[in-house]
Amino acid sequence: MTNPQQMMADLAWQIECGADEAIGEEAGFLSWKGLTAKTRLQAEESRRDEPALAAPSAPPPRAVVSIVPPVAAPLPAEARPRVAAQTLEELREEVSRFEGCALRATAMNLVFADGNPASPVMFIGEAPGEEEDRQGKPFVGVSGQLFDRMLAAAGIARSGIYISNILFWRPPGNRTPTDAEIASCIPFVERHIALIKPKVLVLLGGVAAKTLLQTKEGITRLHGRWTTYSPPPESGVDAALPCLPLYHPAYLLRQASAKRQAWNDILLLKKHLTDNNILINNE
């Protein structure tokens, strides 16, 4: 009798190799129950005539691969998109015309920003998700709703902050952005920061933190640690900005155990704003 565990291991191995459906020679030949009596007899005779096959060996153990989010390498000066915008409206228009990022061809909408442009606090996430792509606004899906609740619990209204992303278009299937996609959008993000002129920059998630801080450290090490964002001269940002990396809300939905740390990080942000008399207009 065939070992059920061996059968499951063989099935998993076949699926991993790409065999994800059963296909017969004729339409309707999908299962043993679907065969006629004649076809069953033919199949049995054919199997008796075949030489016995050795039982397949169990698939080898799969190697555990650690996937590290990309850090976009700085583009050479001659390869960087030339960003001439002097206002947010001009920047949005430049981004909407930009053809150097292939994601715009697969996305439904440009997702530029949301919130109060006069806010002293600017949040930057990774990329739009499905709901953000549909509405054309950042952080409006399930993770955005969690983000709003976390801010509200600390006495910060979403209307009082400004929020955008590293990417302005949704990657298909919400996959991790590639280095090329990130690098193509960074000059616009840097100019975005220069035009908002925030007093505090908050980076949500590993991709945003790694990209703007140009570090290989993961978000589990970076979160809740005040650091400095030092913009390149061509960005137009006048000076370095105090910067606080936080867990991305989407990560907290997958790792509920990290919510306590995330709450402590939000309190660090609140304390910094209070200590430095940085006022947020929650109207």
Q: pLDDT tens digits for 118-127?
A: 999 999 999 9
Query: Has this prediction a pTM greater than 0.75?
Result: no
What's residue 13's pLDDT? 54
d(CA 31, CA 4) in angstroms, rounded, equals 19
pLDDT bracket for residue 231 (50, 70, 90): confident
Q: How confident is the model at residue 244 (pLDDT cuts 50, 70, 90)?
A: very high
Residue 91 near residue 195, CB atoms below 8 Å: yes
Out of 45-59, 137-151, 204-218, 226-240, least confident range: 45-59
Quote the mean pLDDT of the chain: 82
Q: How far apart are CA 79 and CA 236, in angstroms?
A: 18
Contact criterion met (CB below 8 Å) for 246 and 268? no
**pLDDT value at 211 more than 60:** yes
